[in-house]
Structure 1
Amino acid sequence: MTDPVFPSQHTTTTTVTNTEVITNFRYDKSYVYTLAGKLKIAQIVCVFLSIMTLSFSTYNMWYQNSAVTSIMMFGLWFSLFMLVFYLFHVVECFYKIPWLKIEMIFNVCWPLLYLLSAAIAASYIGMNFSYTLSLFFGFAAMFAYGYDALLKYHAIQRGEIAQGNNVMHKQTTISTY
């Protein structure tokens, strides 16, 4: 006689995740055509244009400009290095480093700093047109970093790695009693 509380069948699902990476350096221009690659290029271009317009200002020697330029230069160099790391698969070679978390933290902090630097540039809008352009490109960079942070957050939630593949194998076993 079967017990009505205990099911006559039991299903077990086992999920195994394997990480597939190629640990050699190689150039891969296809990263530039992905959404993440396009965002990196947009970040670099917007920050570069913001720095250039700010440096052509007649008030470029003020101490406020050095803070703004420092924030923008650090963002430019970080984005440029990460673009090169992705293009040459350095990120994939060192896949144990939590690249997505590092980038997400950077991409969360930097829009706040760009908002601060854009506010400083906005306080000088009436003085010079170059501050207006710097403000525009600073806000564009801020939105690019913010959207990239959102994409990195979703990738972390899905359990992805920065480069390479996480392959999941599911095995289902049904036992009948």
Structure 2
Amino acid sequence: MMQTHTSQVNSPTNTQSSGSVSIRYDPSYLHTLPGRLKITELVLNVVGFIFVVASIISHHGRCSWFNTVAMIGFWTTGILLTFYVFHIVEKFNRIPWLKIEFIFCAIETVGYLLASALIAALASSSESLGVAAFVGFISMCVYGFDCWEKFKAMRNGDWPQGQKPSCKPVSTISSSTAY
């Protein structure tokens, strides 16, 4: 009795494999939901920072904590936005971008919750701190929503940018064995 066994080797074929995608400026990302969230986060980070610096007690430790959260959010979000606009995320597709962004957004959400609560407790001494606390709570909500969007994208197996690499058959190996 002769038995034939065929196996198929799948290999990712990807026009976006690391190194094959060109780095290019593409402003269309700015019109997507993730792009608009990042722009909103950048603006809120700067506005909160400015209102804390404008207060008469900006040297207080709580103000420093708020500004630390705001500046970490500003620079990290700005770098991520640049990576998406220039397709660097797509070029280096082996990096788990969604997971990195999910963790970052979760940390910023908790950071803004704490920083805004601490600033709100000082709001009676400066009106600008009250505004900063309000902006901080809005930032917390925006980063929280962004975190939720990243979680959904990871759960659905979405790709952060470009198309997901597909697998296609590379070779077929046939063997026959006689019994």
5+ residue gaps, structure 2: 1-10, 168-179
Secondary structure of the 2:164 match is strand
TM-score between the two structures when normalised by the length of structure 2: 0.81
Taking the TM superposition and a 5 Å limit, the aligned residue runs for 1:33-72 are 33-72=31-70
Q: How much has 1:125 moved relative to structure 2?
A: 1.1
Aligned residue in 2 for 1:85: 83
Residue in 2 that maps onto 1:151: 149
Deviation of the 1:17 alpha carbon: 7.7
Partner SS for 1:50: helix
1:81, 1:44 → 2: CA distance?
11
1:103 has 2:95 as partner = no
Cα distance, 1:168–1:97 mapped onto 2, change above 3 Å: closer
SS of 1:65's partner is helix
Q: Distance in 1 between matches of 2:78 and 2:93?
A: 19
Superposed CA RMSD in Å reads: 2.0
**Percent identity at matched positions?**
34
- When residues 93 and 167 of structure 1 are mapped into structure 2, their CA distance, relative to the original with a 3 A threshold, is closer
1 CA distance for matches of 2:104 and 2:48? 19
**Structure-1-length-normalised TM-score:** 0.82
Three-state SS of the structure 1 residue aligned to 2:159 is coil
Cα distance in 1, alignment partners of residues 25 and 66 from structure 2: 34
1:43 partner letter: E
Instruction: Please state whether the residue corresponding to 1:166 is helix, strand or coil.
Output: coil
| Contact 2:15-2:21 within 8 A present in 1 as well | no
Structure 2 distance, partners of 1:17, 1:108, is 32
Query: Which residue in the other structure is 1:115 paired with?
Result: 113
Alpha-carbon distance between aligned partners in 1 of 2:111 and 2:72, rounded to the nearest angstrom: 11
Alignment of 1:18-33 (within 5 A): 19-21=14-16, 23-33=21-31
Choose from 133, 139, 163 the match for 1:165.
163
The 8 Å contact of residues 109 and 144 in structure 2, kept in 1 or not, is answered as yes
Counterparts in 2 of 1:124-143, with a 5 A limit? Answer: 124-143=122-141
Cα distance in 2 for partners of 1:89, 1:139 equals: 31
Question: Any idea what SS the aligned residue of 1:165 has?
Answer: coil
CA contact (8 A) 1:17 1:168 kept: yes
| Cα distance in structure 2, aligned partners of 1:80 and 1:167 | 27
Deviation >6 Å, runs of 4+: none
Provide the aligned length of Structure 1 versus Structure 2. 156
**Distance in 2 between the 1:89 and 1:105 partners?**
21
Instruction: Say whether the 8 Å CA contact 1:48–1:76 is kept in structure 2.
Output: yes
Partner of 2:174: none
